[in-house]
Amino acid sequence: MREEYDFSKSKKNPYIKKLKKQITIRLEKDVIDYFKNLALEIDIPYQKLINLYLRDCAVHKRKPAIYWEDSETEELTPE
């Protein structure tokens, strides 16, 4: 290893905006199992699969259809 390196002609990383940010997210076990099984079928890491799915949702501006369980009637009702 050199004692000194010359970085005067170096360039900034052009991919810096594409870097991923590590976060903590809580997902239900059945959701993780679903993506793990699907990832095994298509032979990619499940975290990458989840990222691809979320990216697709963001690009196409998909919004989730959220339903809450009505405790009185035990039916799912839209928000």
- Side-chain-facing half-sphere of 10: CA atoms under 13 Å: 6
Residue 66: name the closest of 75, 79, 54 by CA. 79
What local confidence, expressed as pLDDT, does residue 76 receive?
60
Residue 15 has pLDDT above 90, yes or no: no
Q: What is the pLDDT of residues 23-71, one digit of tens each?
A: 999 999 999 999 999 999 999 999 999 999 999 999 999 998 888 776 6
Alpha-carbon gap, residue 61 to 46, rounded angstroms: 22
Q: How far is CA 55 from the centre of its chain?
A: 7
